Amino acid sequence: MNDRIIPWQPTVIAGPKQAMLVTPETAVMMIKKAKRPLMVVGPLAKRQPVLDHTLKIMERWDLPVVTTADTFRVFNERGVETEPYGIVEITNLLKDPEWRGVRGEGQHDLVIFIGCIYYIASQGLSTLKHFAPHIKTLTICKTFHSNADASFPNMDDEEWFRYLEKMHED
Amino acid sequence: MNDRIIPWQPTVIAGPKQAMLVTPETAVMMIKKAKRPLMVVGPLAKRQPVLDHTLKIMERWDLPVVTTADTFRVFNERGVETEPYGIVEITNLLKDPEWRGVRGEGQHDLVIFIGCIYYIASQGLSTLKHFAPHIKTLTICKTFHSNADASFPNMDDEEWFRYLEKMHED
Amino acid sequence: MAPESKKAKDLKGDFWDAKNIQISIGKVITEEEPPEEVRGPKPMPHVTDLRSWDMKLLERYEPFYAPFCDMCCLCTYGKCELLGKKGACGIDAATQQARTVLLACLIGTAAHAGHARHLLEHLIEKLGEDHEIDLGMNVDIEAPITRTVMGKRPRTLGDLREVMDYVEEQMSHLLSACHTGQEGDSKDFESKAFHAGLMDDLAREAADLAQIVALDLPKGDEDAPLIELGFGTIDTEKPVVLCIGHNVLPGADIVDYLDEKGLEEDVEVCGICCAAIDITRYNDAAKVVGPLSKQLRFIRSGVADVVVVDEQCVRTDVLEEALKNRSAVIATTDKMCLGLPDMTDEDPDRIVRDLIEGNIKGALILDPEKVGEVAVKTAIKLAPERKPLKKLPDVEEIIELASECTDCGWCQRACPNSLPVMDAVKKAAEGDLSQLEEMAVEELCYTCGRCEQECERGIPIVSMVTKAGERRVKDEKYKIRAGRGPAQDVEIRRVGAPIVLGDIPGVVAFVGCSNYPAGGKDVALMAKEFLERNYIVVTTGCGAMSIGEYRDEDGQTLYEKYGGEFDAKGLVNMGSCVSNAHISGAAIKIANIFAQKPLEGNFEEIADYILNRVGACGVAWGAYSQKAAAIATGVNRWGIPVVLGPHGSKYRRLFLGRADDEEKWKLNDLRTGEVIDGEPAPEHLLYAAENREEVTVMIAKLCIRPTDTPKGRQMKLSNYIDLHRKYFGTIPDDIDKFIRTEKDIPIVYKKDVMKILEEKNWKPRKVPKEPSLMEMEKG
Amino acid sequence: MAPESKKAKDLKGDFWDAKNIQISIGKVITEEEPPEEVRGPKPMPHVTDLRSWDMKLLERYEPFYAPFCDMCCLCTYGKCELLGKKGACGIDAATQQARTVLLACLIGTAAHAGHARHLLEHLIEKLGEDHEIDLGMNVDIEAPITRTVMGKRPRTLGDLREVMDYVEEQMSHLLSACHTGQEGDSKDFESKAFHAGLMDDLAREAADLAQIVALDLPKGDEDAPLIELGFGTIDTEKPVVLCIGHNVLPGADIVDYLDEKGLEEDVEVCGICCAAIDITRYNDAAKVVGPLSKQLRFIRSGVADVVVVDEQCVRTDVLEEALKNRSAVIATTDKMCLGLPDMTDEDPDRIVRDLIEGNIKGALILDPEKVGEVAVKTAIKLAPERKPLKKLPDVEEIIELASECTDCGWCQRACPNSLPVMDAVKKAAEGDLSQLEEMAVEELCYTCGRCEQECERGIPIVSMVTKAGERRVKDEKYKIRAGRGPAQDVEIRRVGAPIVLGDIPGVVAFVGCSNYPAGGKDVALMAKEFLERNYIVVTTGCGAMSIGEYRDEDGQTLYEKYGGEFDAKGLVNMGSCVSNAHISGAAIKIANIFAQKPLEGNFEEIADYILNRVGACGVAWGAYSQKAAAIATGVNRWGIPVVLGPHGSKYRRLFLGRADDEEKWKLNDLRTGEVIDGEPAPEHLLYAAENREEVTVMIAKLCIRPTDTPKGRQMKLSNYIDLHRKYFGTIPDDIDKFIRTEKDIPIVYKKDVMKILEEKNWKPRKVPKEPSLMEMEKG
């Protein structure tokens, strides 16, 4: 099997269903197609250059952003507005079809994850996989997340940064 | 994911390790390379044309054969000598590195399965996967067995018979 | 530090010692009754007390593991992959399998223990703790398991509480060992699983004893009545109450309520699974729909106006399924509350109204008497308006539905038995319902519903199977003998010698669930095979029902053809799951009555006796549950081998012997004190077979015991050879292993067997007088 | 039909009623002591008796499920995939998660219950069942949990048996519900998990009470001695006996044997995990190596001559690992026999000889006194010859080993915390051991060993980490205050009002295991943060050790800096895992002593009180085990919120509130009988956080309660805002939710907060006097 699409922590494998491997191009397509996408940014995205890529992606596609853990702080320091939630809190809201979303415009239909701790993200993605059929999940970390609907593969920093670059170039 | 290499009963998936998908050519190579191969034939191989293919493969490669369940009978009726064992009995013997094999020449190093009930075979393959590192397992049923080391893919009868054909042609 | 039960160390206040003692002022007077029990070495054994026996078994029958998953997911260090690796806690794959097996056995034991405790306390509340345990004239040893394990005879319902206290305490210690970072050795886990199985045995005995004496169920009655069995026996014109599960109490109160109100003729009461068995032991007017495999099919049929569920083996989506047909659901125990409002303290008529008007989705009623009233009243009121619901989609609709099929084939891949579901559906789309019908009538499909869940078009395959089978529902009329309870002492006296000496070739017990690889008929065919060959055939639970669902060439069910006595050619339905205790019980009684072995506190000697001398074999062909795992493991510890169907491989662990290793079969002849060569008898302790043919031959082989007389051995080998010839075409190649001297060779096969013996360079060997595994030095 | 415990229905012979009654000839005389207890509505509640309370909690804090696997593998119908599908038994994914959670909680409860029963019976055997439960002058309410749940005060060790009987019976019913085909509703499974948690609470209380009174451990002593903690405190020149696990008995007998023989100075006795805590409560000369995370590292160091294991959280490969260094292993309980020969009945000197000569791989000795003698004698004999083994591969060898690395990177993928293991190894190959050292010293690595298992070259990474850390082992000398046991009644009287009114901003309890996402220091930093802010900081078990393993800027451990009183700025080490009972116990005592709520049989009122008024929060930052799951679930049922570290998400279930749904937070003001708007306080019941920064802020928030006085609320909000500003940079956006009237606004933040309130269109609302969830109509 292709090493790039075994879950980064291989035992995360949960059953026959596996995430679709996506390229940056496909990821962008998913964002374009979505009506109410949301980006969820975790503490591993606080460091550079991931933070800048994240900011640019957010801006490029006008994505509302939820920051998990204490990630809010670095965005706030840059004057960028995000909604702080615990990763389990935002996941809990996302699984409720009645929730109106962070902009109050209705539940999101696509959630893009970046920078959350692998295993807790994996658990959150499992929640959404099982209990939020109304949402597609996409992870753009450098690790393959089999519980997502779509995920970047496992790769090294260099390749990842190229992937992220492509997510916000015109 | 490729439908041909999801375990036939998809929930047989047991973890990150999956069988290698093999063609008849590779399967033949494995037999050629083996020092003391063994063929294990289950009751689903009693019907035709599987039985004839099995007989031919057995003959072509001079394989000692263990028959499971009551499969012994059809071979016996054709005057072909096989060793009858329960599938769990033969598996139990195979996992013992000290066992001398059906020919008394030493433990086998390759076991080729055909015609055993999918789920019990799957369990037996799991036993060997975990506890018989000294043995390679190969399944030549028409169903993908992820617990084997190497397996034919899921396919229909027609394709399968072609695969089997290739296993005994010169 | 074995956990020390208070009871063994400190007997003050416990019934064991206190029973025969009256405390008077300043003086102790013993009752006149003589102290009947000789106390053996290990009354109320703790977790480690029987470990040395277990290790003897495990050395001969080594655990064989087939992991169902490569990972462990029990703690938050994990998941850990254990394929050739240890987990974060240090555990390896074999140990993890054993741990999982222990866990499964404990869940099974808890199911019986919870059931037993519940029954017991309820019955004590009604009848008092002094209610006597009296099984009548013919059963003196009323509780062989309790006597052996607890070291004392229980005389009243109250005494059974001590049994349950002990069982619960042991379970707590055993479950503890499953915690991360406790037991680290697979054989020690298996020893604990054996202990769990023994606790299961005790709990089942307590449960069945309590209900037999308190509800006056048949007390070992070989002429227990024949009961109606099958879909076709239910009069769908009447209001129908269906009971599903294992607890007799709500069902008993339903039939009592009907009796009290003179409504017996007006309402049909029927059951699925063991609740059916036990209700019909209580009242023979109730009917048995069938085994577990019928559950979804019957609910989908819409026939039941009220579905009363109690505990164990009930579909967890019963509420959702019943609501589709507007059947009213009543949950009746803490084990299965289904999220329903607790109406226990409400007025019955209000509950009936709420159920009928749909104000509630169903009711949780924890008082069985109230269940009786509410279930009957609801059924009577609901039946007229539910008439139109008592039918399935009609044939045209089925064809229509079938035409939705996209040929993806995943239904077949999801089917536990890989049935050709898609083929049947496609045929149906062409108007040919025969394959669907076959799935229903031949019980190939046990209605688990996985095909439907997998179908991308949501085709209701189980409903279609049900409908297709409907045409022949009227044929589904069978008979089953009501569960008779234990074997009588007098019967044991009669068969003890022939069994131990081998004249009766064996006792074969068909037990367990309906997770069959190819339908229930296999079980009936096996039963028939062994009945015809003079074996004693014992059965319980869903197995007993499957045997009843077959008619032989004369159009008779086996229950009509064979009597219910515990003797050669007897077909003995002992009762429900908990009645399985009487099977080990019969083996124990043989040791006691025939061989005069004292029972009390004497587990190891009794088990050693059974292993070496009592030619019994359990068959759980459709075992699916944790209870079945516990039962089999418990039975194994007594030295009785068990065979499972192929699905049994998913229990992850078997106990297989190695016939090729002579060292494993050495025996100590207690008569001579000599360690001698033995034979692989029984060859395996827990075995899984692929098909009926294989298992039939294996059963015959597993009835062989070292103590068979030459005559008995001849009989057993005749059966083994006959069956091997029938299904394999030859005399079995390992026949030499079972021939001690030429006298053992069956006359008819003498020539052929002699030839094999010569080829094998066979030599005669000693016949042990008192074969035993005890007191043997290792190696 | 709830299973009916004999005790509730039929009290004859039970200590509850019989205690004050003496039976004399023909006459009943009550003792002079007045019947102190007012019996509440639900003494000894059965599985379903507290279901209505559970449903109130579950409606507000809905279960949040994160499946760890898409499949169910518990029966042989399976495996079934549950991703949008039901299984063959009808179960769906949510219900299956809840079932798994119940199972985990039961395993945890059994670990404590097995431990408690074992201790209890052993201590009764030594001291008699009449041994009094007396915690001295300052603790009258010695068993708040038992009083509340059982409905009566236990006065002797013998009385605790009834507690255990009850716990074991309830566990059996609960485990039964996990059987295939029983409970079908996830909330009902959660209600059962709550019940399991409550049983766990009871078992822990019984265990700790028993050992406190029988072994004379500190009885709520705020000045319990400071104990030596850390690798560096062990004198490796002496023979070393290491105890691992949770059961004090073998360790206590080891130190007793040393005392008796006058060998205290000659042998080092040290412990890992809770055994360490409890041995040092018994004898302050023993030493604590550290939490669970040290286990493999310490074994690999070879320092221990004898490794004595008892139960719970011991590496299951301890035998294999210890044998590598020729340490002798003694297993001491039925929970962990490790396949070792049972030497309980052998002569101690023979066992010593067999151990030293390697005739046996290790010994199972089920008698703790014998363990004491054998362990000490073996250590003394073995130590001289093991001298050379007390060192690890030297640095050159490490570099050599490291150079085998193939850069595959799978070590990092296997590492639970994705530590840069490969990078550290590669650095080591270049001669730079600093990264390996950091993993050891900073405790980033908790020595689970998965990296080694994954390594294709078999590089012994944990040994290398251990070696690399060795250089600084001498620095690993810390202090921990010995576990003091419960809070005193007098302390509760002092802090009750300030806590309920909010003047003490909260009680924060750091408990549980060492499965930390980024080392144990996080726990110490959190403790420090809240100590400095005037909270009461309570701790137990591995958490208590992690707190001790940190020195502040003054070079002091927090135990040296802060006193052990249960008061603001107190750092209260209550003891081991089982001492967690005193945390719920303290909350219960507040309800009783401060608010005069009767305890007996009055669970719901007490829990309702705690939920709404006692600003306590549990933190299990490194929770890994089933015990931790049981503890958290038990604490939750009392109305106390718990936060977990990120690994806690693998428990599969949290209880999360929805601050955005005002309906969920309505309260009944019992004083006025009015249902009024409330606030999300506490907002969650069971929460998992990603990092320390997040959790610190969350803890402060979760201490808010509806009854805070304005002054108290100001204090709590000050802390919440301070911490939010510190870690998030802003005043929290949800501050408006917690301001009832302007009086609640902290003075220093007045302006900023007012601005937020204006933006949010905030309106003042009523402050409830007696907020409650009881007696509210739905909707």
Give the per-residue pLDDT at D502.
84
Q: Which amino acid belongs to residue C770? A: E
End-to-end CA separation in angstroms for chain C: 29
Instruction: State whether ipTM is beyond 0.85.
Output: yes
Which pLDDT band holds residue C23 (cuts at 50, 70, 90)? very low
> Under CATH, which architecture does the C35-215 domain have?
Up-down Bundle (1.20)
Give the per-residue pLDDT at C777.
59
Give the per-residue pLDDT at D28.
39
Residues of chain D contacting A130 with CB distance shorter than 8 Å: 65, 67, 70, 82-84, 93-94
Burial of D29 (0-12, 13-18, 19+ CB in 10 A): exposed
The dotted CATH code for C231-476 is 3.40.50.2030
Paired tokens of C306? 């009220």
Owner of token pair 């004496």: C213
Paired tokens of D119? 């201790």
Paired tokens of D686? 């069971």
Give the per-residue pLDDT at D521.
96
User: D226-389: same fold as D6-138+148-213?
Assistant: no
B76 touches chain C (CB under 8 A): yes
Q: Which helix (H) or strand (E) holds D771?
A: strand D771-772
Give the per-residue pLDDT at C33.
46
Give the per-residue pLDDT at C656.
98
Residue of D nearest to C3 (CA): D118
- Evaluate whether D308 touches D267 at the Cβ level (below 8 Å): no
Residue C379, C-beta contacts closer than 8 angstroms, at least 6 positions apart: C239, C240, C241, C267, C305, C306, C328
Q: Which amino acid belongs to residue C484? A: R
- Where are the alpha helices (H) located in D137-185, listed in sequence order? 144-150, 157-177
Residue of B nearest to D414 (CA): B16
Give the per-residue pLDDT at C441.
81
| Torsion, Cα of C189, C191, C196, C197 (10° steps) | 120
Residue C568 has pLDDT above 50, yes or no: yes
- % residues pLDDT > 70 (chain C): 94
Residue ranges with strand state E in D31-73: 62-65, 71-72
Asked if A124 and D414 come within 8 Å (Cβ–Cβ), the reply is no
Q: Which residue has the higher pLDDT, C21 or C764?
A: C764
CA angle, residues C56, C60, C65, in degrees to nearest 5: 110
Asked if C690 and B120 come within 8 Å (Cβ–Cβ), the reply is yes
**Ranges under pLDDT 50 in chain D:** 1-35, 778-779
Residues of chain C contacting D515 with CB distance shorter than 8 Å: 76-77
Give the per-residue pLDDT at D393.
65
CB atoms within 10 A of CB B40: 31
Query: Is the previous residue joined to A49 through a cis bond, with omega within 30 degrees of 0?
Result: yes
Query: pLDDT by residue (tens digit) across C436-464?
Result: 999 988 788 999 999 999 999 999 999 99
Q: How far is D700 from chain A (nearest CA, A)?
A: 15
Residue D206, C-beta contacts closer than 8 angstroms, at least 6 positions apart: D116, D120, D146, D154, D160, D163, D164, D167
- Evaluate whether C695 touches C643 at the Cβ level (below 8 Å): yes
- Number of CB pairs, chain A paired with chain B, less than 8 A apart: 19
**Ranges under pLDDT 70 in chain B:** 1
Which pLDDT band holds residue C16 (cuts at 50, 70, 90)? very low
Give the per-residue pLDDT at D392.
66
Paired tokens of D235? 């004198």
Top residue of B11, B119, B122, B123 to mutate, by most chain D CBs within 10 Å, is B11
Using only the alpha carbons of chain D, give its radius of gyration. Answer: 26
Minimal Cβ distance to D688: which of A9, A14, A88:
A88
Number of H helices, E strands in chain B: 6, 7
- % residues pLDDT > 70 (chain B): 99
Residue of B nearest to A16 (CA): B10
Residue C75 has pLDDT above 90, yes or no: yes
B12 touches chain D (CB under 8 A): yes
Question: Angle, nearest 10°, between helix axes A87-94 and A118-131?
Answer: 10
- Evaluate whether D744 touches D719 at the Cβ level (below 8 Å): no
**D460-487 residues labelled b (16+ CB within 10 A) or e (exposed):** bbbbbbbbbbbeebeebbbbbbbbbbbb
* Strand, helix or coil for residue D538: strand
Distances in whole angstroms, Cα of residue D96 to Cα of each of C246, D62, D102, D560 = 22, 16, 10, 47
The whole-angstrom separation of Cα C740 and Cα C705 is 12
Minimal Cβ distance to D75: which of C1, C183, C625:
C625
Hey, what CATH topology would domain C479-772 get? Rossmann fold (3.40.50)
| Domains of chain B by start residue, with CATH | 23-168 (3.40.50.1220)
Give the per-residue pLDDT at D523.
98
- Where in chain D are the domains? 6-138+148-213, 226-389, 395-458
Residues of chain D contacting C364 with CB distance shorter than 8 Å: 48
| Torsion, Cα of B69, B72, B73, B75 (10° steps) | 140
Give the per-residue pLDDT at D501.
86
Minimal Cβ distance to D125: which of C4, C110, C117:
C4
CATH of D226-389, one of 3.20.20.140, 3.40.50.2030, 3.40.50.170, 3.40.1440.60: 3.40.50.2030
Class of the CATH-defined domain D6-138+148-213: mainly alpha
Residues of chain C contacting B93 with CB distance shorter than 8 Å: 658, 660
Give the per-residue pLDDT at C38.
56
Give the per-residue pLDDT at A26.
98
Query: pLDDT by residue (tens digit) across C368-387?
Result: 999 999 999 999 999 999 99
